[in-house]
Structure 1
Amino acid sequence: MGKRKRKQQPVLVLHRKSANRPEVKAAVKAVRSRGIDLKVRIPWNKKDKPRVVRELIAAGHQRLIAGGGDGTLNAIADALVRHAEHDECPTMGILPLGTANDLAHGLGLPCEDLDSCLYLAATGDAKPMDLGIMNGRHFINVASGGFGAQVTATTPQDVKRHLGGAAYTLNGLIKIWEMKPYRGSLHLPGQAPIEGSMVLMAVGNNRLAGGGFEVAPAADPADGLLDLMILTDSVITEPGPTLAELKDPLNPANTRLRYVQAPAFRIEAETPVHINLDGEPVVSKELNFSVLEHALNVVY
């Protein structure tokens, strides 16, 4: 069989709930008015996104724009890596339509100007970007774990609907009194296991998570490394000094906070750890992390 014909027409793969937002329609209209032949596809649900991406790849489209929150960006990135040949992986653009848009903000995209964001996604030059892997599952931004992820995963849906972001704060205040640290070990390449306790952690392919918090300040999405930040249980017994270290996480003198950059590592916990993987909840006792270097071509 010959190679498929490449199509330069950009395609916006749009989260269904965002399709009727006036500002999204206005952005599409604005980009088209500038002579861009932008196509729009709206998957029916989360499970339909990989099928839509497969069809667009098979049809030869060379630029797919993920329109949605970090979960949508994860789904599109995952489908691109799984279904495209690496040397012909289409360019991925980003139209940030989530609540926090941590990935887009971390990449420096003009998130408050959807017209400019969409035009850049449709026409801008792409840069290589890594993709994180945890237990065989991809993440494009941050995998956060421990107390914060547990609060997110266990806050009831009806409470979230009624209180919005305040629901997480209220649920967190209730749970912090019963918070028990995770005990386990960190396994880095070529080093002896590091035993200890953990209240929360973040593994960053990018810098931001949780609505703009810089959980991995040294993270570079194209350096072939993942940035691991672990906060020990000293936040319970010594909150003042621990918070001081949080303000300077890269300080090598820190004793309550650990910050590591590595292409791969493993965490083994005595009890299952709650993980938030680009917004998707996962629970596991063994966490195997690695990086897929330059897996994507992303406009940013």
Structure 2
Amino acid sequence: MEQAILLHNPGAGDEDHLKSDLIALIEQEGYACVYFSVKNGDQWIHQIDQADFAVVAGGDGTVRGVAKELVKRNSLEKKIPITILPMGTANNLSIALGIDSTKKNLDHIKNWKNTKRQRFDVGVIKNADSTDFFLEGAGYGVFPHLIQKMESVDKSKVENAKDELKLALEVLHEIIKTAKAEKYWIKADDKIYEGKCLLLEVMNIQSVGPNLILSPEAVTDDGLFNVVYVDETQRSDFAAFIKKRLNGEEVTFDYKTFEAKQLTIDCESTYMHIDDELVLPLKNVAILEVRENVLEFLVPQS
């Protein structure tokens, strides 16, 4: 009998997903299951080696919290694959891995016997003072402003994840109209890029934020970043694109983009973000590099 370790964020998403319900669903499909709430410390770290796979029940932030501990592991230690029961607002990581967040938990669990292991590279970002990592993306410009604004915006009329995603797009649209274009300089492998941008994102997967697909060609295991930027000349077009998204139109935007394995970035932006966390910009230039095949996810065969 395979042993699952269930790492649950009880506050994620639209509902309070009960511990007993999740355990029962997993056990009735023939798995042994041990449960930990990620809200109650990190005791799970000492038990994970006993498991055959980890189940993360939560949103993108919960997955990142678990991955943060697994990334620290020595390369000779047992590699624990992760599967996701998506319960967050955006679920960008689930989307990137082909895990349908609209399905019921039981449907996901029944499908675990028909999964494959998907390798997942992580982005490492460092300077002289610190080192961090990201799963989704890191960047400057309008997305850090969006994260900051969403912390204080009125959410009294938000009833579910769909409402919150729509609200985020509305706030983003307003930010784009007035945001300052930030000066940037990038060394990407052996090429130099510089200018002023409204958005500058180093993407590890296809989408960030409110399910905004910036790099549809991104894959999780190619050893490359997809760098995406919107310059000042595209402001009105970018705002119009977001407005059409708000209106439910299926539209795309012509982002400026290139691929690179290693980056050196100097940007004058007041803030930056690493995944969904708002951070102060690094004091010195940021060095970003791909660390290959660090994590493995269990994903649907199809």
Q: TM-score range by the shorter chain?
A: 0.7 to 0.9
Matched, 1:180 2:180: yes
- The more displaced of 81-90 and 217-226 is 81-90
CA distance in 2: counterparts of 1:210 and 1:88, whole angstroms: 32
Match of 1:9 among 3, 12, 21: 3
Give the SS at the match of 1:234: helix
The residue identity in structure 2 corresponding to 1:247 is: T
Change in Cα spacing, 1:161 to 1:292, as seen in structure 2 (3 Å) is farther
Give the SS at the match of 1:126: strand
* Conservation of the 8 A alpha-carbon contact between 2:176 and 2:239: no
Provide Cα deviations, 1:238-280, integer angstroms capped at 9, x if missing partner: 638996xx9364xxxxxxx4211111112101343432x2211
Change in Cα spacing, 1:241 to 1:56, as seen in structure 2 (3 Å) is closer
Counterpart for residue 258 of structure 1: 256
Shift, 1:62, TM fit: 3.1
Change in Cα spacing, 1:36 to 1:240, as seen in structure 2 (3 Å) is closer
* Conservation of the 8 A alpha-carbon contact between 2:272 and 2:281: yes
Match of 2:266 among 268, 289, 295: 268
CA distance in 1: counterparts of 2:24 and 2:4, whole angstroms: 14
CA distance in 2: counterparts of 1:241 and 1:266, whole angstroms: 29
Change in Cα spacing, 1:240 to 1:222, as seen in structure 2 (3 Å) is closer
Counterpart for residue 247 of structure 1: 252
Percent sequence identity is 18
Counterpart for residue 126 of structure 1: 117
- Unaligned 5+ segments in structure 1 are 1-6, 250-256
The residue identity in structure 1 corresponding to 2:203 is: G
Change in Cα spacing, 1:14 to 1:269, as seen in structure 2 (3 Å) is same
How many equivalent pairs are there? 278
Counterpart for residue 252 of structure 1: none
Give the SS at the match of 2:45: helix
* Conservation of the 8 A alpha-carbon contact between 2:5 and 2:55: yes
TM-score by length of 1: 0.80
Counterpart for residue 3 of structure 1: none
CA distance in 2: counterparts of 1:240 and 1:176, whole angstroms: 8
Shift, 1:105, TM fit: 1.3
Matched, 1:215 2:205: no
Give the SS at the match of 2:31: coil
Change in Cα spacing, 1:75 to 1:121, as seen in structure 2 (3 Å) is farther
CA distance in 2: counterparts of 1:242 and 1:184, whole angstroms: 24
Counterpart for residue 244 of structure 2: none
Counterpart for residue 278 of structure 1: 275
CA distance in 2: counterparts of 1:278 and 1:271, whole angstroms: 16
TM-score by length of 2: 0.80
Give the SS at the match of 2:89: coil
Change in Cα spacing, 1:110 to 1:269, as seen in structure 2 (3 Å) is closer
The residue identity in structure 1 corresponding to 2:107 is: S
CA distance in 2: counterparts of 1:97 and 1:84, whole angstroms: 29
CA distance in 2: counterparts of 1:201 and 1:121, whole angstroms: 37
Counterpart for residue 81 of structure 1: 71
- Unaligned 5+ segments in structure 2 are 242-250
The residue identity in structure 1 corresponding to 2:35 is: V
* Conservation of the 8 A alpha-carbon contact between 1:101 and 1:211: no
Counterpart for residue 55 of structure 2: 65
Shift, 1:230, TM fit: 0.8
CA distance in 1: counterparts of 2:224 and 2:125, whole angstroms: 13
Matched, 1:230 2:225: no
Provide Cα deviations, 1:100-157, integer angstroms capped at 9, x if missing partner: 1111012111322221223445773322211112232121122243113212213443
Give the SS at the match of 2:25: helix
Change in Cα spacing, 1:267 to 1:30, as seen in structure 2 (3 Å) is same
The residue identity in structure 2 corresponding to 1:218 is: E
Give the SS at the match of 1:11: strand
CA distance in 1: counterparts of 2:265 and 2:214, whole angstroms: 18
* Conservation of the 8 A alpha-carbon contact between 2:6 and 2:34: yes
CA distance in 2: counterparts of 1:297 and 1:156, whole angstroms: 32
CA distance in 2: counterparts of 1:283 and 1:124, whole angstroms: 39
* Conservation of the 8 A alpha-carbon contact between 2:120 and 2:296: yes
Shift, 1:210, TM fit: 2.4
Counterpart for residue 29 of structure 1: 24
CA distance in 2: counterparts of 1:82 and 1:120, whole angstroms: 29
